[in-house]
Amino acid sequence: MHLSGEAQLSEPDLIDRAREGDGTAWEALVRQHQEPAFRLAYLILGDAGQAQDITQEAFLRAYRAIDRYDPARPFRPWLLAITANLARNQRRSLGRYWAAVRRFVERNPEPQPAHYSDHIEEKVTQRWASQTMWEAIQRLDAKDQQVIYLRYFLDSPVAETAEVLSVAEGTVKSRLHRALNRLQEVIEREFPELREGIKT
């Protein structure tokens, strides 16, 4: 069957069809989730080719395990957990890991509202602040860095972050709270020029 109404199908419907062997339904799931999976793999590995390989492997493993997947739970965090585990197994060096995160952020600055387009000075200031903030984040330990980038750089909800990290939602909230407090301390101590840009 051609999925001309693909946009109207819910994720559980697509998963059910994929379980029945509908390749078009599985392709729709891949299209919906390949970008965040690739982005996470790239953040961990720092190499686009390796990240692409890991993303493909993650989808392959997810497809093979689709019968064991609980459709009552969101698909994306389950897939991201598979992706993160594969990527971490391939490259465990935290130094290269965070160098990859920094390169990703520097190459992909946040889009600015249209009314800022003519304000070059403001753009330069914002870019400086972004890079300086990254230097501050790199002063934190790996757990603090990880929860910050999942929540703020991948924009993952608390439930999804919890699933990717294999911890409870409450643990994500408390870990994030502590991480942000430690980041605030780092900024106060080492990057006081950033204080004006931080809302308390």
pLDDT value of position 31? 92
- Cα gap 32→156, rounded to integer Å: 15
Mean pLDDT (whole number) for 77-93: 81
Rounded to the nearest angstrom, the gap between the alpha carbon of residue 46 and the centroid of all alpha carbons in its chain is 14
Q: Which two tokens stand for residue 197?
A: 């840009």
Q: Do the beta carbons of residue 106 and residue 46 sit within 8 Å?
A: no
pLDDT value of position 60? 93
Q: pTM for this one? A: 0.57
pLDDT tens figures, 112-165: 444 434 444 555 555 566 677 778 888 888 788 878 878 877 778 898 888 888
| Between 97 and 82, residue with greater pLDDT | 82
Above 70 in pLDDT, residue 29?
Answer: yes
Domains belonging to the chain, first-starting first, are: 1-94 (1.10.1740.10), 109-200 (1.10.10.10)
Scan for tokens 């997947």, then name that residue. Answer: 69
Q: Which two tokens stand for residue 178?
A: 């502590």
Q: Do the beta carbons of residue 172 and residue 148 sit within 8 Å?
A: no
- Cα gap 182→188, rounded to integer Å: 10
User: Using the 8-state DSSP alphabet, how is residue 69 labeled?
Assistant: S
Question: Which of 47-56, 91-100, 133-142 has the least mean pLDDT?
Answer: 91-100
Q: What share of the chain is helix, strand, coil (3-state, %, to 5)?
A: 75, 0, 25
- Cα gap 198→200, rounded to integer Å: 6
